[in-house]
């Protein structure tokens, strides 16, 4: 079938849903998959959070990964069915709107959009340590990755550069994401091979040990799981993988720029989850087997770079560059997805200044003003780098922990916001199905619709609780992930502020101007 015919079918479906083609439909399946995979980014997630998973669950934490991948596959199947039925920019917002109603969809879009733009700031902040390290090695600088100004400048430059690339055309976004896929492949399988050639320090039996992390005396973070791995340590260690496995839904955010979207987007979502699962498992496997015989303590202190220190200096530098590129590609993909959510909401008149935010640049056919919003909001989040108390701060009934940069604490909200919007989207799909919705897209779950949807909903609900449940700052969850009440409180603030705006402005009642 010719590309022109496919584009005609895409445009017809867009028209049937009440919209006209404004964005440039230039992305192939590989482009679409690349954006989704770059956002999911195993390298970014593992290089950021491997130490926490290892310290919470020991080497055995690797076996929580297949569980997360399998259950998130259920979510990708539900989203794939929705993406095939509603191949529209804004993805989750549109799914909620068409399945349940305008108000429901608006709330999903509000939460999802904020979570995406918070993710931009949190992901880009992760690049700082690697950029400063490379600069100090190559250019003999003395940059401090913990310095507020250093963080602000480096992250600010990355956000602006990503915004520029996002604004000059969807095809450029696809090319950046392509590069991200190649880099991720080298940086996951390549690290495994390099460490294997140098010589692993353990056999496969090591992967089934806990190294005593469930006991207070032998836990490297000094957190107490009461000697219980399955009912304690594993529930926290699984979050190291939960915090990685999302982002595949961004394939739907760029559906209006993808050729044959109703077929290609569902495929891209599934493939991103599966390839991400394989790449993540291989990378974690290599890192675990490379842990020195002396134990996990040194790795907890030195992070992933300490495991790569056994490699030749030039190879360490090479992988350092790969990590930086992966972080940049991930941040660019997330920013692009967030801008499409802003555009989708504005196109329905559901945001302040919607008339300006819905405009599409004539030359590059990108939602340039929405991309500006996708730049400004992460910059505002970036200001949180200034909040880094030297002592615990008591606020109402809870305590903000000392020496926890608020920008880094933002990671937990980004994840909880994503999981809440995922949960509401899958719930909307179930509600629609119970009301008699019969999916008509090219990808349908058929008789598996109910079990897959219910399974996905149960998983998302349980993991959302696991993420936000307020825990003591001396507990594994509290000290390593949600910082006590902080994650739940930030999520509540975003939801309540959205509820107040919706109550008074009623953005769901705005007239579309397509």
Residue 144: helix, strand or coil by DSSP?
coil
Reference 93, options 110, 78, 116; nearest CA is: 110
Examine residue 466 and state whether it is found in any structural domain, yes or no: yes
Instruction: Record the tokens describing residue 311, joined without a space.
Output: 């490699």
* pLDDT score for 24: 93
The single residue listed with the structure tokens 């259920």 is: 74
**Model pTM score:** 0.95
CA–CA dist 177, 182 (Å, integer): 9
Q: Are 78 and 473 in contact (CB under 8 A)?
A: no
Examine residue 10 and state whether it is found in any structural domain, yes or no: no
Instruction: Record the tokens describing residue 329, joined without a space.
Output: 């590609």
Examine residue 13 and state whether it is found in any structural domain, yes or no: no
Examine residue 213 and state whether it is found in any structural domain, yes or no: yes
CATH number of the domain within which 447 lies: 1.20.1740.10
* pLDDT score for 124: 94
CA–CA dist 117, 163 (Å, integer): 12
Residues of the domain holding 141 = 24-509
Instruction: Record the tokens describing residue 288, joined without a space.
Output: 């675990």
Write the DSSP symbol of residue 22.
-
Examine residue 3 and state whether it is found in any structural domain, yes or no: no
CA–CA dist 126, 418 (Å, integer): 19
Examine residue 357 and state whether it is found in any structural domain, yes or no: yes
**pLDDT tens digits for range 273-284:** 999 999 999 999
CA–CA dist 400, 145 (Å, integer): 22
- DSSP letters of 241-290? HHTTS--TTHHHHTGGGBTTHHHHHHHHHHHHHHHHHHHHHHHHHHHHHT
CA–CA dist 35, 270 (Å, integer): 13
Residue 363: half-sphere exposure toward Cβ, Cα within 13 Å: 3
CA–CA dist 256, 88 (Å, integer): 6
Helical segments of 144-223, H only: 148-167, 170-185, 191-198
Alpha-carbon distances of 348 from 151, 269, 482, rounded to whole Å: 36, 25, 34
How long a stretch of residues is the chain?
Answer: 514
* pLDDT score for 359: 96
CA–CA dist 428, 106 (Å, integer): 12
Write the DSSP symbol of residue 27.
B
142: how many CB neighbours lie within 10 A of its CB? 7
* pLDDT score for 316: 94
**pLDDT tens digits for range 61-100:** 999 999 999 999 999 999 999 999 999 999 999 999 999 9
Radius of gyration from C-alpha coordinates of the chain? 22
Examine residue 366 and state whether it is found in any structural domain, yes or no: yes
Write the DSSP symbol of residue 446.
G
* pLDDT score for 387: 86
- 443 alpha-carbon distance from chain centroid: 24
Tell me the average confidence (pLDDT) per consecutive run of 10 residues in the chain, 514 residues long. 65 93 94 96 94 97 98 98 97 97 94 94 93 95 93 95 95 93 95 96 97 95 93 95 95 96 97 98 98 94 92 95 95 96 95 94 94 96 88 87 80 89 98 96 96 98 95 88 89 89 81 50
- H or E element that contains 10: helix 3-16
* pLDDT score for 513: 46
What CA dihedral angle connects 477, 478, 483 and 487, to 10 degrees?
50
Domain count across the chain: 1
Burial of 72 (0-12, 13-18, 19+ CB in 10 A): buried
Instruction: Record the tokens describing residue 115, joined without a space.
Output: 């979570």
Instruction: Record the tokens describing residue 64, joined without a space.
Output: 């929580």
353: left (phi over 0), alpha (psi -120 to 50) or beta: left
User: Which residues 6+ apart lie within 8 Å of 381 measured at CB?
Assistant: 117, 118, 120, 121, 122, 407, 410
Examine residue 486 and state whether it is found in any structural domain, yes or no: yes
């Amino acid at each position: 079938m010719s590309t022109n015919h496919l584009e005609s079918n895409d445009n017809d479906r867009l028209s049937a849903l009440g919209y006209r083609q404004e964005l440039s439909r230039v992305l192939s399946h590989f482009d679409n998959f690349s954006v989704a995979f770059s956002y999911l980014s195993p390298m970014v997630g593992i290089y950021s959070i491997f130490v926490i998973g290892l310290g919470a669950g020991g080497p055995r934490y690797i076996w929580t990964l297949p569980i997360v991948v399998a259950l998130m596959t259920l979510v990708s199947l539900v989203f794939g069915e929705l993406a095939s039925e509603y191949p529209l920019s804004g993805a989750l917002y549109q799914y909620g709107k068409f399945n349940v109603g305008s108000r429901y969809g608006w709330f999903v879009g509000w939460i999802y959009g904020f979570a995406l733009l918070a993710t931009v700031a949190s992901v880009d902040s992760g690049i700082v340590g690697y950029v400063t390290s490379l600069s100090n090695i190559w250019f003999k600088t003395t940059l401090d990755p913990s310095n507020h100004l250093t963080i602000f400048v480096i992250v600010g430059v990355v956000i602006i550069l990503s915004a520029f690339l996002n604004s000059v055309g969807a095809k450029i976004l696809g090319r950046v994401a392509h590069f991200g896929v190649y880099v991720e492949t080298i940086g996951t399988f390549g690290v495994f091979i390099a460490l294997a050639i140098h010589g692993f320090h353990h056999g496969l039996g090591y992967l089934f040990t806990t190294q005593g992390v469930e006991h207070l005396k032998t836990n490297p973070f000094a957190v107490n799981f009461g000697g219980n791995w399955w009912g304690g340590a594993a529930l926290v260690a699984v979050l190291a993988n939960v915090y990685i496995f999302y982002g595949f839904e961004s394939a739907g955010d760029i559906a209006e720029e993808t050729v044959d979207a109703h077929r290609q987007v569902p495929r891209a979502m599934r493939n991103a989850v599966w390839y991400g699962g394989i790449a993540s498992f291989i990378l974690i496997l290599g890192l675990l087997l490379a842990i020195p015989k002396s134990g996990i303590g040194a790795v907890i202190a030195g992070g992933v770079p300490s495991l790569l220190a056994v490699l030749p200096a030039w190879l360490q530098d090479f992988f350092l560059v790969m990590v930086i590129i992966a972080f940049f590609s991930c941040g660019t993909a997330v920013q692009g997805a967030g801008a499409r959510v802003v555009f989708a909401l504005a196109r329905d008149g559901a945001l302040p200044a919607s008339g300006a935010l819905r405009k599409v640049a004539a030359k590059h056919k990108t939602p340039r003003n929405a991309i500006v919003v996708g730049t400004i909001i992460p910059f505002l989040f970036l200001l949180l780098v200034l909040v880094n108390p030297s002592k615990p701060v008591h606020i109402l009934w809870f305590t903000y922990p000392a020496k926890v940069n608020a920008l880094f604490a933002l990671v937990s909200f980004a994840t909880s916001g994503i999981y809440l919007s995922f949960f509401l989207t899958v719930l909307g799909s179930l509600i629609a199905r119970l009301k008699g919705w019969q999916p008509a897209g090219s990808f349908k779950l058929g008789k598996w619709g109910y079990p897959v949807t219910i399974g996905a909903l149960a998983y998302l609900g349980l993991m959302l609780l696991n993420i936000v449940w307020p825990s003591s700052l001396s507990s594994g969850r509290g000290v390593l992930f949600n910082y006590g009440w902080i994650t739940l409180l930030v999520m509540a603030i975003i939801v309540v502020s959205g509820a107040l705006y919706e109550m008074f402005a009623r953005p769901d009642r705005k007239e579309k101007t397509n």
